[in-house]
């Protein structure tokens, strides 16, 4: 009786990895785009056709002056630090109070400016127009006018921060509401809820994290903006910064800049922790 023939296993079939076709390249179009961008950039630097007058020769001639000023800023006078504590606390008060007032005002304005939360087209357009006008005016212009109206001090700076914050919060949050899905609001309408009830019990709870993120963001901005508002008499750390700059005390200016940097970083760290709690 003959032995059974051995079973020969077929070698495994190795599938070749798919080869992607080469990405098409349009060298002529790329070169044309780069050429147009370079030509436009060069044209904006030609004063004869209305471009920006960049005097490179003057920069090269006076570079030593800039290097000297940077050297002075690199030597902070920490003995001046105690004099900055009061103005910095004033700046923090302005930033916090301005952010809180703007937070309270921004909630109804945002709901009125968004289409899903305000079906009245005329009212929605009116609110958006007002917000666009508020956003179009620079904060330094607000501060300059308010200083002339109510006097030098913290009040014009705080009002400026409120207007600045409202423009940012309402613009960003209303656009986020417009671009989101609103199934929960449609369900509320289907059950016979009024627009006020839908906004209060569905839209507002859903958008509170967005509001919180923008409120914290404006608080960070307020500290930095307050340093600039002091240049026009709106109080805060900017007032003493402008004073020391006027006396060419760059060592004191450097200390103030470092203090602002530390405060902004600390506020950002606290804001990040709060954002994690809210999400």
Whether the model pTM is above 0.85: no
| Range 90-99 average pLDDT | 90
- Show the tokens assigned to 89: 């606390």
The answer to whether 170 touches 110, Cβ cutoff 8 Å, is yes
Residue whose C-alpha is closest to residue 219's, from 106, 118, 135: 106
**pLDDT beyond 90 at 162:** yes
The answer to whether 216 touches 274, Cβ cutoff 8 Å, is yes
More confident residue, 55 or 72: 72
- Show the tokens assigned to 154: 């913290």
**pLDDT beyond 90 at 102:** yes
All domains of the chain in start order, with CATH:
27-61 (no CATH), 78-278 (1.10.3720.10)
Kindly report, residue by residue over 191-223, the tens digit of the pLDDT.
Answer: 777 777 777 777 787 888 888 888 888 888 888
Average pLDDT, the chain: 83
- Phi-psi bin for 11: left (phi > 0), alpha (psi -120 to 50), beta? beta
């Amino acid at each position: 009786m003959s032995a059974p023939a051995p079973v020969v296993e077929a070698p495994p079939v190795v599938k070749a990895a798919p080869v992607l076709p080469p990405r098409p390249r349009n060298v002529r179009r790329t070169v044309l785009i780069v050429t147009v961008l370079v030509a436009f950039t060069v044209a904006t630097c030609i004063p004869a056709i209305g471009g920006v007058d960049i005097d490179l020769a003057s920069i090269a001639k006076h570079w030593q002056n800039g290097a000297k000023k940077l050297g002075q800023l690199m030597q902070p006078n920490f003995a001046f630090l105690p004099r900055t504590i009061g103005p910095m606390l004033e700046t923090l008060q302005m930033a916090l109070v301005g952010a809180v007032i703007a937070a309270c005002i921004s909630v109804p304005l945002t709901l009125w400016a968004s289409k899903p939360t305000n079906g009245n087209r005329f009212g929605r357009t009116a609110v958006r127009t007002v917000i666009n006008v508020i956003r179009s005016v620079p904060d330094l212009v607000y501060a300059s006018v308010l200083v002339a109206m109510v006097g030098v001090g913290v009040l014009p700076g705080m009002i400026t921060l409120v207007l600045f914050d409202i423009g940012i919060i309402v613009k960003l949050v209303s656009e986020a509401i417009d671009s989101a899905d609103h199934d929960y609001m449609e369900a509320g309408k289907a059950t016979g809820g009024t627009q006020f009830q839908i906004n209060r019990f569905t839209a507002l709870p859903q958008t509170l994290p967005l509001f919180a993120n923008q409120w914290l963001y404006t608080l960070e901005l307020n500290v930095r903006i307050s340093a600039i508002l002091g240049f026009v008499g709106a109080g805060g750390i900017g007032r003493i910064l402008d004073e020391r700059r006027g006396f060419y005390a760059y060592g004191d200016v450097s200390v103030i800049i470092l203090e602002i940097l530390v405060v902004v970083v600390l506020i950002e760290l606290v804001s990040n922790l709060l954002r994690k709690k809210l999400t």
